[in-house]
Copies of this chain bind each other. A is one copy, B any other.
Amino acid sequence: MDLASVIGLVAGVTFIMIAIFTGGNFLLFIDFNSMLIVGGGTIGATLINYPLGEVLGVIKVVQKAFLHKEETPTGIIKTLVSFAETARREGILSLEQQAASLDDEFLKTGITLAVDGTEPEHIRDIMTTEINYIAERHKVGSGIFEAMGMYAPAFGMIGTLIGLIGMLAQMNDPSSIGSNMAVALITTLYGAFMANLIFLPIAGKLKARSSGEILIKELCIEGIMSIQSGDNPRIVEDKLKAFIAPSMRNIKEKEEESG
């Protein structure tokens, strides 16, 4: 479970709750119609904007991003260095068994190609193609949330305009202006809240996860190239460490806890 997100969501909601409770009556801020306009409008626009399959697929993407533990660059470097050691000691063919037990489909494919003696340039081509299309699919995921982060405030404004027009047109009782405007403004509040505490931060997290995942896949390619060319495990390690921050390079003992 992604701890930072939980903390962030709880913190954001809590501070806003405090503001609301200090300011007055909590029930003022609950309005079912307003939710329908902002939520329904946003979902409606998103469904027109994106193919159904991609909108539904996004649920799985979000679950994965927030629930599954990400592989760490240091973990993958350790794996690749141990593969390099095995390959050096017992030949590259000995990696076949180890590859079979890998969870990571991408790394498994790469190792298998190397074991099969595929030409290096060819392995790099196939794996780079795959990375490009993975990045493309990731971009769709964060794009959907960015679109929702754009539509939500827009439908918030649409709701407020509807409320204002209704109010202004039937302005018989001046004493009710205040409460009617309060209701009209709630959709704007919902739109801003959804966009800035839910949709846009999720879009940002998906992007961060995507670049983390792609860094790891680029590490895999570089590692496999290096192993296949028979590099010394020490050199494999040096090459791979160029991808990560100096502070993370002392990976003998510690395992990164990435939030």
A interface residues with partner B (beta carbon < 8 Å): 2-5, 7-16, 18-20, 22-25, 28-29, 33-34, 36-37, 39-41, 43-55, 105, 126, 129-130, 133, 136-137, 140, 147, 150-151, 154-155, 157-159, 161-171, 178-179, 181-182, 185-186, 188-189, 192-193, 195-198, 200-202, 204-205, 208-209, 211-212, 215, 239, 242-246, 256-259
Chain B residues with CB below 8 A from A166, complex form: 20, 23-25, 28, 182
Q: Is the CB of A51 within 8 A of B259?
A: yes
- In the assembled complex, the CB of A192 is this many whole angstroms from the nearest CB of chain B, namely 5
A119 to chain B, nearest CB (A): 13
Main secondary structure of the interface of A (DSSP, over half): helix
B50–A208 contact, CB under 8 A? yes
In contact, B162 and A20 (Cβ under 8 angstroms): yes
Partner of A44, one of B9, B162, B171: B9
Q: Chain B residues with Cβ under 8 A from A12's Cβ?
A: 40-41, 43-45, 48
